[in-house]
């Protein structure tokens, strides 16, 4: 397994629409293994392939509490079958928007179909935190970041801050 570089906003690649995976083969499983390792190392609880620069419809998640055994989940070509009308609000962050957090409303339940790590067609009825995480990651597949739901002013401020941080980082050339 290899750690991959996580792309951060602003970056045009994060705005790309990801493409369907035709077949879950060893290459795709390798990518999923790398994504999981990269996510754990960050650390984070969810990662979409586009965040490591691969425009494929793949998500990895692990929302198990820190003191409990790992519980990785893999979603290939996830599709929303239905969503609830009720929303819930969570404070969201994103590995591609480092250090920034905001309260975001999303449907509190969603019914998703997807293909798992072994290439099997599956469904999940998600609710609560996992429903929010899946929807956040599925947004990545459409090139959407959580800051897109904020007011233009707030979003602009965050993107400016991140651009500045990036420049400062790039300046450290040893």
The residues assigned a catalytic role are 137
- For position 94 contacting Zn ion by CB under 5 A, the verdict is yes
In a 3-state reduction of DSSP, which class is residue 19? strand
Q: Cβ closer to Zn ion: 31 or 94? A: 94
HSE value, Cβ hemisphere, 13 Å, CA-based, for 174: 1
Cβ-contact 62, 39 below 8 angstroms: yes
Q: Cβ closer to Zn ion: 69 or 98? A: 98
| Burial (Cβ within 10 Å: 0-12, 13-18, ≥19) of residue 173 | exposed
CB of 79 to Zn ion, least distance (A): 19
Cβ-contact 2, 37 below 8 angstroms: yes
Span near Zn ion by CB under 5 A; candidates 34-42, 74-82, 88-96, 154-162 = 88-96
CB of 121 to Zn ion, least distance (A): 25
Beta bridge partners of 94: 97
- How many amino acids of this chain bind Zn ion (CB under 5 A)? 1
Tokens at residue 64, please? 């198990």
Task: Report the alpha-carbon distance of residue 25 to residue 153 in Å, rounded.
Answer: 44
Q: Cβ closer to Zn ion: 35 or 94? A: 94
CB of 137 to Zn ion, least distance (A): 7
CB of 95 to Zn ion, least distance (A): 6
Q: Cβ closer to Zn ion: 119 or 128? A: 128
**Which residues are at the interface with Zn ion (CB under 5 A)?**
94
């Amino acid at each position: 397994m290899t750690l991959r570089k996580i792309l951060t906003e602003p970056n045009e690649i994060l705005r790309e629409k990801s493409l369907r995976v035709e077949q879950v083969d060893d290459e795709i499983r390798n990518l999923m293994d790398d994504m999981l390792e990269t996510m754990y190392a960050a650390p984070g609880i969810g990662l979409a392939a586009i965040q490591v620069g691969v425009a494929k419809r793949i998500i990895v998640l692990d929302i198990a509490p820190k003191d409990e055994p790992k519980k990785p989940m893999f979603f290939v070509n996830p599709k929303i079958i239905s969503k609830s009308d009720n929303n819930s609000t969570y404070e969201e962050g994103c590995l591609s928007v480092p250090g920034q957090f905001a309260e975001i409303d999303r449907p509190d339940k969603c019914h998703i179909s997807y293909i798992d790590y072994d290439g099997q067609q599956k469904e999940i009825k998600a609710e609560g935190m996992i429903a929010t995480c899946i929807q956040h990651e599925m947004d990545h597949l459409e090139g959407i970041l959580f800051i897109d739901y904020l007011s233009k002013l707030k979003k602009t401020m965050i993107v400016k801050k991140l651009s500045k941080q990036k420049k400062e980082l790039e300046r450290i050339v040893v």
